[in-house]
Amino acid sequence: MSIKLDDKVLDSILERMVNTVSDSKKEIFEISEQSRSEYEVLKNELEMTKQEVNNLIDKGDILEVQEKFARKRLSEVSRHFNKYSEEQIRDAYEKAHNLQMQLSSIRQSERVLLERRNELERRLKALENTVERAEALVGQISVVLNYLTSDLKQVNELIEDARQKQEFGLKIIEAQEEERRRLSREIHDGPAQMLANVMLRSELIERTSREKGMDAALIEVKDLRQMVRSALYEVRKIIYDLRPMALDDLGLIPTLKRYLTTVEDYHKIRIEFISIGREIRLAQRLEVALFRLVQEAVQNAMKHAKPKAVQVKMDINKKHVTLVIKDDGQGFDTTSKKEGSFGLVGMRERVELLRGQLTIDSVIGKGTLIMIQVPLSDQT
């Protein structure tokens, strides 16, 4: 029984599914950002309210001491009425009365502010829960999109015509690239696709063991082991793509050392890291951006250049951060624009956001050198 699919209808269905899920994610993300903005406003208001409460408490404590002295003075005047003039008696009474009124007003304002503070704390807690739930939903939708744009590649096997397969593949690639841009390259479909292939290979191994024997199956097992190893590497890479925890805890240079060591061990090539100048903590956004630039440059070299060695050099001085990433790989023609070269485009856009400069020098057969310079004075 043959299965025939209309590739245009299938493309339309897939596109609507991807767009619907993507729009849902965008709406949830906007809710999260609005809640986060409101959270910051309320947080600032809460801090101001707390400060006002503290100021009123301090002022009330001072007035309370003054009011006690005034009442004691009034009591003394009342007991020795004949010793004091009418003006002195009136002054003692008015002073005690005024201080009581001021103290009562301050205590009332204090109660109002305390109620406002409690209300703000309740609203902040509710907004915090909303942000957490929205972020969790965004993560779940990202996973759905990953599976949606990757696992459905298996449908290609049902399309026999070569032209139809090519067009279908291009549609999925376009959907994937759009998704990567929309998600700011948070997650891509590598591990999901690899795990799907692992399932298919496991079925193939079972069939091979029955039809060709265990020797042939063992050959497939070795390929499967390499596939699983690649999947594990991709998962680790995604963790770094999302946010390497070491970047917050240790800083840029130790995190780069750890990342480059991981890449070196996986690809079995020599990667040299050289740090020149001051090893200091930079602004958080700058550390993240510089890490991403090194990561993208090294990944591009591993994917396209097939180098034997890579050198990463970083120089931090008072005015600039300079990055140099050099490899001895295949190189490429920098004058020709290669379609689909999103890696270099993304690097250039990131450097421009940092108001820096990026230069690429590459010779076919002699490797590539990427130099990035970012001013520190523009980073806050």
DSSP 326: E
pLDDT of residue 14: 67
DSSP 336: S
Least confident of 214-218, 335-339, 358-362: 335-339
Q: Which residue has the higher pLDDT, 323 or 304?
A: 323
Bridge-based pairing of strands 367-375 and 320-327 is antiparallel
> How does residue 3 score in pLDDT terms, banded at 50, 70 and 90?
very low
279: pLDDT strictly greater than 70 = yes
**Residue 322 and residue 313: Cα distance in Å, rounded?**
8
209-230 in b/e form (b: 16+ CB < 10 A) is: beeeeeeebeebbeebeeeeeb
**Residue 6 and residue 207: Cα distance in Å, rounded?**
31
Question: What's the topology of domain 246-380?
Answer: Heat Shock Protein 90 (3.30.565)
Which tokens in the block code for residue 171?
Answer: 């549609």
Sign of the alpha-carbon dihedral angle for 198, 202, 203, 209: positive
Look at residues 31, 54, 187 and name the one whose alpha carbon lies nearest to residue 117.
54
pTM for this structure?
0.42
**Residue 257 and residue 359: Cα distance in Å, rounded?**
23
Which tokens in the block code for residue 40?
Answer: 């910051």
Which tokens in the block code for residue 138?
Answer: 């965004």
> How does residue 312 score in pLDDT terms, banded at 50, 70 and 90?
very high
Q: Which CATH architecture describes the domain 7-151? A: Orthogonal Bundle (1.10)
Same fold, 7-151 and 246-380: no
59: pLDDT strictly greater than 90 = no
> How does residue 168 score in pLDDT terms, banded at 50, 70 and 90?
very low
290-307 in b/e form (b: 16+ CB < 10 A) is: bbbbbbbbbebbbebbeb
Per-residue pLDDT reduced to its tens digit, 65-120 = 887 887 787 787 777 767 777 777 778 788 878 888 888 888 888 888 888 888 88
246-272 in b/e form (b: 16+ CB < 10 A) is: bbeeeebbebbeebbeebbeebebebe
> How does residue 314 score in pLDDT terms, banded at 50, 70 and 90?
very high
Per-residue pLDDT reduced to its tens digit, 178-212 = 545 544 444 445 566 666 676 777 777 777 777 77
Per-residue pLDDT reduced to its tens digit, 341-377 = 556 777 888 888 889 999 999 999 889 999 999 998 7
Look at residues 107, 303, 74, 288 and name the one whose alpha carbon lies nearest to residue 188.
303
% of the chain beyond a pLDDT of 70: 76
309: pLDDT strictly greater than 70 = yes
Mean confidence (pLDDT) of the chain: 76
pLDDT of residue 167: 53
Per-residue pLDDT reduced to its tens digit, 125-147 = 887 888 787 777 777 777 766 76
Parse the chain into domains and list their residue ranges: 7-151, 189-242, 246-380
